[in-house]
Each structure stands twice: as C-alpha cells, then as structure tokens.
Structure 1
C-alpha cells in the first residue's frame, strides 16, 4: 500500500506555546504504516500560505495546521475548493474552529483523528474576497484583534487585558446591513460574522451557527452599559448570547455591510484594514477537513 504524504506546517509562536518537541511527539503517535510525514516551521506572516501552495504543487495528500485559527486560515484559504484536506493540531490561543469540530489540543488525540482519516466538508466565508473559516468581525472585536496582534502577551490573559483597557473608550458605529436583500440600519458596538458558533476558548457568539448549513450568522452586538459587561461575558460562556437584549442574530448567504469609513476587520482573529463597504458571502461545502 502506498503511503499518503502528509505535510505538517508548524507556527512556532501560536498560543505562546513552545513547539520544540512537536515533531518528536507527532512521529510517536502518527501511524507510519499509513503516512510519510514531513515538517516545516513557518517563519513569518503568510509563510504558511506559501508553503501550502508548494504542498499542493507537490501533490501532498494532506496538510496539517499546527497552530491557532490564524494559522488555519493561512493554510485553508489555499486549500479552498481543492481535493486536498486540512487537518488540525490545535496550538493557538482560542482554537475556535478546532473546538467546534471536536479536535483536542492534546497532540496524541489530534494525531489519532489524522490516523482514522475521517473527512467532512465544511463551508467557508469571504469578506471582500478574503476567506475566513471560523468568525470574522468588525467594530470592537476587530480593534481588539488589531491590538492583540501587536501585543507580546499571547493567550486569554493578554486578550482580556486589552479588552479591559479599550472597552470603556470605544464608541459604537452606524452600519447599513443588507442580508439576502433585506436592508436594516443598526448602531452597533461590533458585528461578528460566524461560520462556527464560537470565537474560541468556548466563548459562543452564535450558538446556532453551523459550518455545514450553507449560511453565515450575522451577530449584531448593540452598545451596552459597561455595568452589563459581566452579564455579556456570562452569555458568551453559557451559550446564551442569542438571549441577550443586546444581541441580534440573522442568518444569511449574501451580506453587505457599509460603515462610516474603512478600518479594521478581523478574519479568524487576524486583523486587516478593509474598505468601508464589505461584501460577504458563504461558500458552501468548500473545504475538506479531517475531524
């Protein structure tokens, strides 16, 4: 039997965790009767995308993202609408998509899923032509993603510190939102576009979202009194965000959002500066994933 060629792409700084022993661990648990593995470490932003393109050209059978949602994004956007599946070993700060797919951050368990080789096909999203797979957003969470990218302290603690610093001075914006032809006006603290239900760390912004329903969940978070912040956090972690008076969730396929000016948007937690008009769409059944 011909072995499948498997390419591991390792983000050495994701989640603030050392990956020095990763290759040894992976080789220990990977079924070498089935796979011939190679390992590459990313050296800069978008390097994982470059390495994935090379892997596709070399007709590798499987590409493994070893990192968080940002690493997954870099790799998965190159695998969109190709037969090459993505596998995930979660090593990020939040691991939103992996958590939703039931992929453990324990290396042995994540590799066990690769050995079993069960593949599903999931939806993806596009914002002005840029792909996302977990959650995209604008407003406050995009600002936080921008600040977090500049911060030296990774992980949930570093993220929370930035949130607490910025939340009291952030001002909501006016948005014109069109979802499948229905236009609404909203003043919003932030807007999240969810393909899967959670940001990461089991914080659920769209409890009813699914990666295989052919829809995106537009989550509009209205301005709330600062005294309500602990309640909002409770809703996120108890999967009841949809029950909050400050959250409105509308499902759709084709979405446009206009805001006062161009500014930050995050795609799977990675910040970008995009135009004031955002065209968003779902790409049904566009990515093969081992889970």
Structure 2
C-alpha cells in the first residue's frame, strides 16, 4: 500500500485545497493507505518539503493549482520520486492534461492503484532564475502579463479572472520584436507571444497547443503574430477549442530547446508562478518525472 505526503498551498485558495484534500484523504485512508499533511509557507518551502518526502519513498501529493503542481513537480523531476496531484486551484491545467477526474473517489482510486507514467518536464533558465524546472508551459508576451493581472485580482476568480486579465493586457500591449532560436536555428517573430508548451492547456483550460504531448520529448512552440486587437480578442475565444490554429496569424513549431529574446523587457511566465523578463531558454527533460494518472487516452467524462 502506498504512503502519501500531501503538501498544501497556503496562499489564495488554501481553504479549497484543504477541503478537497479532506475528501480524497478519506478514500485513501479507508483503503488502508497512510497520509501525512504538510502546510507550506512558500513555494520554496513546498519544494523542500516535497524533496524530503520523496527521499523517504513517499508519494508526494501537490495540493493546489498549476503553480503548486509545477513547483513540486519541478523539484521532484529527475529524483525518481512519484508525484500525485490533488487539483484545487483556479486553472488546474496540468491535471486536465493528465486526464485526472474531479470526483474525489475516482481520484483516490488513481492515486492508490495507477501505474506511474513518465512525463517530460521543462528546464527554464534566465538571468533571474538560473535553473527552474516546471511542468506545463513557458509563455513570453501578452499572456504573461494577463496571468500577472489574473493573479492580482481580488474580485474575480476562476475563468473570469483570466479573461479580465487578458482584456486588460491586450488593451495596453505594444507588439514586440522577438528573436527565437529553435534547436540552433534562429528566426524572427513580430507579435503578441511565444509559448513553449509541454501541456496542451494554459490559462484556465485554453487549448493553446492542442497537439502537445506530455511524453514526446518535444516542445510545441506557438507563435501569435501581430494582428489587430479586435482579431486578438477573437483568438482568445478560439483558444477554448483550439480553433485558433486555423488562423494565418498563428504558427506552430516543434523542437527540444528554445531561446526567446526580444527588443525590450518582455515579461515571461511559467506554470502561473515564475515571473521574469526575457531572454529565457527552455529545454525539454524527457521522461524525467513519474506521475500518477489514468493511462494515456483514458479520460474521465466528469472532469
């Protein structure tokens, strides 16, 4: 029987995380599993706590949203420890990509019995963050600014905060001149953003890179070129279904390593938490993390 250590996000949404964990914990304990709970006082503390638990051979449960999942998953990347997710954030995009169910009993069943799946992680390097490992995506441009506004929101929650943040960011955005280097090949790009995606989703379920796979050893690199603001608002809505890929303003590349530079201090973000300014380098770390999730291709219709 597996032994679990749950690391809970203490910041916004902590009460939701604790409530969600209580429901899952009941099913785990009824099945005979042991569970200890640790409340972190920062993301750095959460990473340290997760590493200690992993070294003891315990399955580490990241309780929170994408920032918590990315922070803990990044810390465990390459260590051999096993990660489980208890989604309790605003976006839960990496949990969505894994096909995790919302129902506590179904989630507990996966945590108890699923075989660990090896997935890729992303190593991120910049002047501010010499080496950070995340799970879902790195985005440089208007979406990083939108995510910052969403995180600062006190009145709006969930999808509404992301949408409002996006409107505010686009309204004041000035097109940037990017220089991107994919596996050593340099290209120019003028536009709104460059996204290096390991997961198909970001920004509360928006399918920015629908064909991205968590275990293919490749980045899906999405470029959104310069366009009238009214068209960009249309693109934001099309991200819900992936229809934006049919637009000529959208281009997708693939590669193992990406360097993003710009003509000004363009902000970038990663998994909703890391914030800095370009330049940044992103590399795939193939099959570097073991995660408990349904077998690939199986999805829960309730999530």
Q: TM-score, normalised by structure 1?
A: 0.91
Hey, what's the Cα distance between the residues in 1 that align with 2:80 and 2:32? 19
Aligned residue in 2 for 1:171: 174
The structure 2 residue matched to 1:7, chosen from 1, 5, 8, is 5
Which string of whole-angstrom CA distances, capped at 9 and with x for unpartnered residues, describes residues 122-169 of structure 1? 011122122121111111011122223333243211222222223122
Q: Is 1:286 aligned with 2:288? A: yes
Q: Which stretches in structure 1 are left out of the alignment for 5+ residues?
A: none
Change (3 A) 1:168 1:29: same
Question: 1:55 Cα shift?
Answer: 1.4
Aligned residue in 2 for 1:24: 22
3-state SS, counterpart of residue 204 of structure 1? coil
On the 8 A contact 2:137/2:202 being kept in 1, the answer is yes
Q: Which stretches in structure 2 are left out of the alignment for 5+ residues?
A: 126-130, 294-303
Question: 1:115 Cα shift?
Answer: 1.4
Aligned residue in 1 for 2:73: 76
3-state SS, counterpart of residue 208 of structure 1? coil
Q: Residues 125-164 of structure 1: matches in 2 within 5 Å?
A: 125-128=122-125, 129-152=131-154, 153-164=156-167
Moved >6 Å (runs of 4+): none
Aligned residue in 1 for 2:109: 112
Change (3 A) 1:47 1:154: farther
Question: 1:23 Cα shift?
Answer: 4.5
Hey, what's the Cα distance between the residues in 1 that align with 2:205 and 2:87? 14
Which string of whole-angstrom CA distances, capped at 9 and with x for unpartnered residues, describes residues 207-227 of structure 1? 111011110011111122222
Question: 1:20 Cα shift?
Answer: 4.3
Q: Residues 38-57 of structure 1: matches in 2 within 5 Å?
A: 38-57=36-55
On the 8 A contact 2:176/2:266 being kept in 1, the answer is no
3-state SS, counterpart of residue 223 of structure 2? strand
CA RMSD of aligned residues (A): 2.0
Hey, what's the Cα distance between the residues in 1 that align with 2:265 and 2:231? 29
Q: Tell which deviates more after alignment, 254-263 or 174-183.
A: 254-263
The structure 2 residue matched to 1:64, chosen from 61, 65, 68, is 61
On the 8 A contact 1:172/1:187 being kept in 2, the answer is yes
